[in-house]
């Protein structure tokens, strides 16, 4: 079921969050990356089958949704989602995010909300590691993005020119929203030094074949977070929820039920 929840923060004004809910049970907030909400829809259904109530919001500005002009940062999105959990009066929430969604998840962990029981970072961007830089995403063609994103790129390669015009327009809008929030580098030089202040237990999951955000970032996240475990999936790249959904599902389910 698709819903709209308004949250009102003084710094941004009213923010209307479109979200879809799957299943019933323990709450799990699932945050999508730059590929948009469709990149986690099937995975949300899998988690719902494991006994979770999975909430998948659309980051404001993605998929044609409205974005308040002052809302331009990842930390701002984290504050919006913290308020979202409060509005829905959810407790014991596991927050899981892929790519930019993982970065939002890290910032949400740093807010210290008592509503968050644990966080899962899946191939998260956000860290500035000069020795292992994030790929220059905005200079890449879609073919190059596929080559760097997957262990088996040919299984997931798409030709945007063959998509319906409305889908092409949505993808262009998503790309613009991604750049607004993450900047062209999709990193925050201050993030690594702030991570030790996070209180929630963390599971960090990385695809060994990720060449968008190299696995060194997974180790850096897990080393900096005070209560974290790192798991590397050998046959996955940047989007394990698409390439190895069963493996990621098992990891998140085990973690969330123990958090």
pLDDT digit string (tens) for 172-196? 999 999 999 999 999 999 999 999 9
Which ranges constitute the DSSP H helices of the chain? 38-49, 74-87, 100-110, 142-149, 165-182, 191-194, 216-224, 240-243, 245-258
Rounded percentage of the chain residues whose pLDDT exceeds 90: 96
pTM for the structure as a whole: 0.97
Please give the domain boundaries of the chain with CATH numbers for all domains.
2-252 (3.40.50.1820)
- For the chain, the C-alpha Rg in angstroms (whole number) is 17
Q: How confident is the model at residue 1, as a pLDDT?
A: 75
3-state secondary structure 112-128: CCCCEEEEEEECCCECC
Distance of alpha carbon 251 from alpha carbon 79, whole angstroms: 26
pLDDT at 161: 87
- Please give the average per-residue pLDDT across 157-175, as a whole number: 91
What the block records as the tokens of 1 is: 């079921």
> What mean pLDDT is predicted for residues 230-236?
98
Residue 142 has pLDDT above 80, yes or no: yes
pLDDT digits (tens, 9 = 90+) for 98-130: 999 999 999 999 999 999 999 999 999 999 999
* Length of the chain (residues): 259
């Amino acid at each position: 079921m698709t819903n709209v929840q308004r949250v009102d923060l003084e710094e941004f004004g009213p923010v209307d969050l479109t979200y879809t809910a799957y299943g019933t049970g323990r709450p799990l907030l699932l945050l999508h990356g730059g590929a948009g909400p469709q990149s986690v829809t099937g995975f949300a259904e899998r988690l719902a089958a494991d006994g979770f109530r999975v909430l998948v919001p659309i980051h404001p500005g993605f998929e044609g949704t409205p974005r308040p002009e002052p809302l331009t940062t990842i930390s701002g999105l984290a504050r919006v989602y913290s308020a979202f959990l409060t509005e829905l009066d959810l407790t014991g929430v596991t927050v899981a995010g892929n790519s930019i969604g993982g970065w939002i998840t890290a910032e949400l962990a740093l807010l210290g909300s008592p509503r968050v029981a644990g966080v899962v970072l899946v191939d998260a961007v956000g860290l500035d590691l000069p020795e292992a830089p994030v790929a220059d995403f905005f200079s890449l063609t879609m073919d190059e993005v596929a080559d760097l994103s997957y262990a088996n790129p040919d299984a997931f390669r798409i030709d945007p020119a063959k998509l319906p015009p409305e889908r092409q327009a949505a993808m262009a809008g998503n790309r613009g929203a991604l750049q607004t929030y993450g900047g062209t580098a999709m990193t925050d030089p201050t993030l690594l030094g702030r991570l030790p202040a996070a209180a929630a237990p963390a599971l960090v999951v990385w695809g060994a074949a990720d060449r968008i955000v190299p696995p060194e970032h997974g180790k850096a996240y897990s080393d900096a977070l005070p209560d974290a475990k790192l798991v590397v999936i050998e046959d996955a790249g940047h989007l394990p929820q698409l390439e190895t959904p069963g493996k990621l599902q098992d990891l998140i389910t085990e973690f969330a039920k123990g958090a």
